[in-house]
Structure 1
Amino acid sequence: MRVETERLYLYPISNDEMRSLIEKQADAEMKQAYTEMLEGCLLEPDSRIWYAVWNMELKNVPGTIVGDFCFKGLGKDGVVEIGYGLREEFRHQGYMVETVKVITEWALSMEGVCAVEAETDLKNVASQNVLRRAGFVKNGVIGEEGPRFVYRGKENER
């Protein structure tokens, strides 16, 4: 499975790669999040794309990973939540907006998905700007981390 943007290949990493990521992770909160994602992959192998960590690899420099993202499972209501991160040296080059736009449209093209959501830290203005540039709008809910954004496809463009 691979999704392409103009400049990137996007693909889920293997369970073994996820285990390695967990072992190397110093941040306890991220280690827990990755562990929960791996558990989702193992418990629901037919739906692992909704739980796996996905790499963002440069097309013109094979093997160069600029960041990663994940879907946080597929909810029974047809809503998927995304989370993402970019290596510092690749920030401010449009990679994350490019990725969020493409993965959002890709997710909405999948059976059973009706909306994509994301939650950002209240102080993470850069992440909020990524979501706005990708067509997301605030849904009026403040989650555990901060404001929640939603994208429902053409509905957002009204």
Structure 2
Amino acid sequence: MVTTERLRIYPTDAAQMKAAIAAAKDAGLKKAYEEMLAGCMAHPEQWDWYAMWVIELGDGRRIGDLCFKGLGRDGVAEIGYGIEEGYRGQGYATEAVRAALGWAFRHPAVVSIEAEAEADNAASQRVLDKCCFQASGLTGEEGPRFSRRRLGIESMLEVV
């Protein structure tokens, strides 16, 4: 579990992911959750790098989730995140991504974290900017790609 001033962020187990898949109304989100569970089952030794991570407020209200899409042998992982509509615009995504980066960069094998944000999703791109991601000039399935390299001090920080 990763905690911040306002949030608790933790990876889910198989039962929680199956429940999220069953509850997902959006086909794209359902597919993403299914891919996360498949990654967990294929790579149980890297469970946290494939699992859905719940983002909760201190009182236990779930406000979103995030995930890493595996950790490659090259030390690169991709992060994805989403905040429920009623909680957007309050800095929760930035806080959660910073905390997740702190967790990831405490692993010595991690060289960089990448992300994609749809071209018209200015809010998501702003989160990446606040978290020191740089545009890579590449475009992925979900839009422009961004990268955040290890700065060297993250492993000493609770939240970057």
Q: If the length of structure 2 is used for normalisation, what is the TM-score?
A: 0.90
| Consecutive unaligned residues in structure 1, runs of 5 or more | none
Greater relative CO, 1 or 2 (CA 8 Å, sep 6+): 2
Report SS of the residue matched to 1:76.
coil
1:71 counterpart residue number: 68
Report SS of the residue matched to 1:147.
strand
**5 Å matches for 1:82-101?**
82-101=79-98
Following the alignment from structure 2 to structure 1, what is the Cα–Cα distance between the partners of residues 19 and 110?
30
**5 Å matches for 1:9-158?**
9-59=8-58, 61=59, 63-154=60-151
In 1, are the aligned partners of 2:51 and 2:67 still within 8 Å (CA)? Answer: yes
| Pairs aligned (count) | 152
Identity %: 47
Task: Look up the equivalent residue of 2:106 and give its one-letter code.
Answer: S
| CA deviation map 1:48-87 (0-9, x unaligned) | 000100011112x1x2011110001111211010000001
Shift of 1:153: 2.9
For the aligned residue pairs, the C-alpha RMSD in angstroms reads 1.2
Following the alignment from structure 1 to structure 2, what is the Cα–Cα distance between the partners of residues 45 and 143?
26
Q: Name which of structure 1's ranges 100-109 and 80-89 shifts more when overlaid on structure 2.
A: 100-109
Task: Look up the equivalent residue of 1:48 and give its one-letter code.
Answer: W
In 2, are the aligned partners of 1:105 and 1:153 still within 8 Å (CA)? Answer: no
Following the alignment from structure 1 to structure 2, what is the Cα–Cα distance between the partners of residues 6 and 116?
23
Shift of 1:154: 2.2
Report SS of the residue matched to 1:154.
coil
In 1, are the aligned partners of 2:53 and 2:67 still within 8 Å (CA)? Answer: yes
Task: Look up the equivalent residue of 1:43 and give its one-letter code.
Answer: A
In 1, are the aligned partners of 2:110 and 2:150 still within 8 Å (CA)? Answer: no
Shift of 1:21: 0.7
| Consecutive unaligned residues in structure 2, runs of 5 or more | 153-160
